[in-house]
Structure 1
Amino acid sequence: MEQALTIRQIRLWRMAIYFYFGLSGFAMASWVAQTPNIRDSLGVSTAQMGWIIFGLSTGSIIGLLCASRLIACFGGRVIMLVGLGLSSTGLITVGIGSSWFPHVLIVFGGLALFGFGIGICDVSMNVEGTAIEQTVKKPILTSFHAVYSLGTFFGAMIGSVVNNLHVPIIIHLLVIAFTVFILIIYFFRFIPGGSGQVKNEDTSGTTAKESLSVWKEQRTFLLGVIVLGMAFAEGSAGDWLPLVIVDGYDKTAAAGSLMFSLFVATMTISRAVGDILLAKFGRVAILRISAISAALGLMIVIFSGNYYAAAVGIVLWGFGSAYGFPIGLSAAGDNPHGVAARVGAVTTVGYMAFLVGPPILGAIAESVGLLRSLIFVLIGVTVAGLLAQAAKPITSDVNKIEENTLEQ
């Protein structure tokens, strides 16, 4: 993006990134909606299904680790297109491996491809989002994540309808993949090239060195810790909140689902108004308020013992979990030099919290119970709140690689 963009071009760019975020969530929810049917189609146990789903985690982590180098070489918009294109292909492969030629290895491979595509797309979407923030000079990354949540909601709703109508797995996933592919091709033309791209003669060597060096920067490291704590709060609710209500409060599965819906709704609404709040109060204040809200909500859920009080706690937990991830990514993108490496590093930490944190929480719960295991989540958000000052915006006169390393 070496030439100035017109207002119309910026609006179209912003709209396109909204759609990429929404389609990413839409694709993810569509796969999740079919997990019970895929398990039954393959004839595997829930434990075996867990190992199959590990293909998704493996692909996602590999994608996240490769993303910054790919973006530096080809730019954010190309990697977004490739990422969601690969995810669409992965969905089709999963459909084939659970319908026409049922086999666990085909589904595992499809999920690995799907996860890899989602991983590289996620980093590139956030690189584009931070680039738009730098262009319009105001916080907007939270609204992109709100659209991701909205896409997830629509994908889940359509998946519910499809399941009620007993639509075959392959038909559902084929239609979703085709829809995603057509839309990403259409909106690709509105995205300017160059975001996150490193135009050096020795791009690969510079990028590899840069990808490792960002972890030595004190600010990037602290942002990673903030995102780790806040993403852990979000991910633990996504995986365990229904069971927390069922086991901890002796309620039905329907009641657990209702409380999870309340959490998701709170997060979506919070992110929808997040840009306004950030513009008014700033990152540091919002992060601190978020951490206090999440910590207070978690304490109510853990210690109140009352279902209705827990509902209030879940609202506070949802509000507190809404901003940590997008604010951390936005702060990582303050410095335009090496933006792909920093955003990629912080995104990787966040997704590690999503993918690895909840299973660890489940292992802890075996000994102390799900409710008490949430104390570890409480510790994470508390630490994130204490480190909130690290998200303070970098002024334009210090837009260079930080010299302040952990060794100093």
Structure 2
Amino acid sequence: MTTSTRSDTNVNAAAVATFLIFAMNGLVFASWAARIPAVTEALSLTSGQMGTLLLCTAVGSLMALPSAGWVVGRIGTAGTVRLAGIVAGAAGAAIAFSLMAASVPGTAIALFFFGIGIGLWDVAQNIEGADVEHRLKRTIMPQFHAAFSGGAFVGALIGAGLSQLGVGLPEHLLVIAGLAVLLALTVPRYFLPHEASGVETLDDGAPAPKGPTAWRDGRTLLIGVVVLGATLTEGAGNDWIAKAAVDGLGTSEATGALLFALFVAAMTGMRFLGGKVIDRFGRVAVLRASMAAAALGLALFVFAGNVVLAGLGAALWGVGAALAFPMGMSAAADDPKHAAARVSVVSTIGYVAFLAGPPLLGYLGDQTGIHMALLAIGLPILVALLLAGVAKPLRAK
């Protein structure tokens, strides 16, 4: 009984720690995303040029993501989050100083390393979250992602408030960078212990092939395609709602940040409710309903003629974007023996869209206006809806 109690306590502590790490990740990301209009103004950039800067973040993350599973295997999820927090915090400070100097190259380099830190952080927290969910034996991954959205919501509100007060983005980022490093160094001490990368075994006890095995698993790759479409939906909202509101509706920067906050708030609320919704209606049905809601919300936001309707569209868009990524992580982790490798693969595929898609929308925005360019994500949403059946839970063996 003592061992069981200690084990339950450890898992619960790990769940709280994972929740906090997700929340801090969201706060860091939104502190940047909510004030992208301020960056374009400070550096005198067009939407396409801003897209290039965002692409620097994407390149950094996409270079880090494929090796993230290996890094976790070597130093564990706790060690990886600590490393990622230091890298992201240092990069955040570098972004701040580059903006003070109005240096586009300096900002680009800093964003590259910011992307590396965020990429490592994301994969590590999702592997930890999948492990905690498996040990708790109930759907909790959406709540971890709700913590990310909640942190992003707080970050967006802080960004809107500081913008309204005239506080500069560099000062804002310096404070956030210090907080990120502090939490990343302390909170992971409560993570579950992870053994160093060993030899995985198959059902007959034979050693499993290393490296690309998960990349050859058809179900894992299709889940990755679904997550790719879903994360493009979320990433486009995170990066461009504030800017699209300013350009398309003629709102102020503060109002644009508030619409972004509304998008994130809706996503956060749905993620808190998501576990119960998924357990009741099933993963596939909820995934299909999510993509349909995202498509409807996107259309309403783009074609709305006023802030009220745009706000309603942003909220519905956020509801639709809420659950697809956490459901993809849970689906990838259905087989505990291969969970870490498959979660890493699906995360990598998903973040290709999450990080690389929004910059490409920026280039398209130079031709059509960023407001109308958002319609381009309708096709990936449809693909995710059509392939939703691959997320059906595996039968227990």
TM-score by length of 1: 0.82
Partner of 1:322: 322
Q: Compared with structure 1, are the counterparts of its residues 104 and 15 closer, same or farther at alpha carbon in structure 2 (3 Å cutoff)?
A: same
Q: Tell me, yes or no, if the aligned pair for 2:86 and 2:181 is still in contact at 8 Å.
A: yes
- Helix, strand or coil: the match of 2:266? helix
Partner of 1:54: 55
Distance across 2 between alignment mates of 1:323 and 1:50: 26
Deviation of 1:122 (Å)? 0.2
What RMSD, in angstroms, separates the aligned Cα atoms of the two structures?
A: 3.3
Distance across 2 between alignment mates of 1:366 and 1:264: 25
Partner of 1:8: 9
Deviations 1:32-53 (A, max 9, x none): 4565666676x55446555444
Q: Tell me, yes or no, if the aligned pair for 1:62 and 1:116 is still in contact at 8 Å.
A: yes
Partner of 1:181: 181
Partner of 2:297: 297
Distance across 2 between alignment mates of 1:18 and 1:251: 37
Query: How is 1:339-378 mapped onto 2 (pairs within 5 angstroms)?
Result: 339-364=339-364, 373-378=373-378
Distance across 2 between alignment mates of 1:311 and 1:194: 43
Deviation of 1:113 (Å)? 2.0
Q: Count how many residue pairs are aligned between Structure 1 and Structure 2.
A: 386
Deviation of 1:259 (Å)? 4.0
Q: Compared with structure 1, are the counterparts of its residues 230 and 39 closer, same or farther at alpha carbon in structure 2 (3 Å cutoff)?
A: closer
Alignment partner of 1:236 is 2:267: no
Q: Tell me, yes or no, if the aligned pair for 1:211 and 1:342 is still in contact at 8 Å.
A: no
Greater shift after overlay, 301-310 or 129-138?
Answer: 301-310
Distance across 2 between alignment mates of 1:60 and 1:354: 10
Identical residues among aligned pairs (%): 36
- Helix, strand or coil: the match of 2:182? helix
Give the AA of the match of 2:198. K
Deviation of 1:209 (Å)? 6.6
TM-score by length of 2: 0.84
Partner of 1:403: none
Deviation of 1:245 (Å)? 5.2
Greater shift after overlay, 104-113 or 207-216?
Answer: 207-216
Distance across 1 between alignment mates of 2:393 and 2:82: 30
Alignment partner of 1:83 is 2:92: no
Distance across 2 between alignment mates of 1:168 and 1:364: 29
Partner of 1:402: none
Distance across 1 between alignment mates of 2:96 and 2:369: 36
Q: Tell me, yes or no, if the aligned pair for 2:36 and 2:243 is still in contact at 8 Å.
A: no
Alignment partner of 1:199 is 2:205: no
Partner of 2:204: none
Partner of 2:145: 145
Deviation of 1:346 (Å)? 1.1
Give the AA of the match of 1:70. V
Q: Compared with structure 1, are the counterparts of its residues 374 and 102 closer, same or farther at alpha carbon in structure 2 (3 Å cutoff)?
A: closer
Q: Compared with structure 1, are the counterparts of its residues 209 and 174 closer, same or farther at alpha carbon in structure 2 (3 Å cutoff)?
A: farther
Q: Compared with structure 1, are the counterparts of its residues 213 and 374 closer, same or farther at alpha carbon in structure 2 (3 Å cutoff)?
A: same
Q: Tell me, yes or no, if the aligned pair for 1:211 and 1:345 is still in contact at 8 Å.
A: no
Partner of 2:271: 271
- Helix, strand or coil: the match of 2:336? coil
Partner of 1:63: 64
Alignment partner of 1:252 is 2:278: no
Deviation of 1:270 (Å)? 0.7
Deviation of 1:176 (Å)? 2.4
Q: Which runs of 5+ in 2 are unaligned?
A: 201-206
Q: Compared with structure 1, are the counterparts of its residues 297 and 27 closer, same or farther at alpha carbon in structure 2 (3 Å cutoff)?
A: closer
Using CA pairs under 8 Å that are at least 6 residues apart, name the structure with larger relative contact order, 1 or 2.
2
Give the AA of the match of 1:108. A
Alignment partner of 1:24 is 2:25: yes
Distance across 1 between alignment mates of 2:174 and 2:247: 37
Deviation of 1:233 (Å)? 1.7
Deviation of 1:140 (Å)? 0.6
Partner of 2:122: 122
Distance across 2 between alignment mates of 1:312 and 1:243: 17
Distance across 2 between alignment mates of 1:324 and 1:382: 13
Distance across 1 between alignment mates of 2:372 and 2:312: 18
Greater shift after overlay, 83-92 or 161-170?
Answer: 161-170
Q: Compared with structure 1, are the counterparts of its residues 255 and 235 closer, same or farther at alpha carbon in structure 2 (3 Å cutoff)?
A: same
Give the AA of the match of 1:80. V
Deviations 1:328-358 (A, max 9, x none): 1111111223323211221122211122223
Q: Tell me, yes or no, if the aligned pair for 1:210 and 1:341 is still in contact at 8 Å.
A: no
Q: Tell me, yes or no, if the aligned pair for 1:69 and 1:208 is still in contact at 8 Å.
A: no
Distance across 2 between alignment mates of 1:166 and 1:307: 23
Partner of 1:190: 190
Distance across 1 between alignment mates of 2:35 and 2:243: 20
- Helix, strand or coil: the match of 2:316? helix
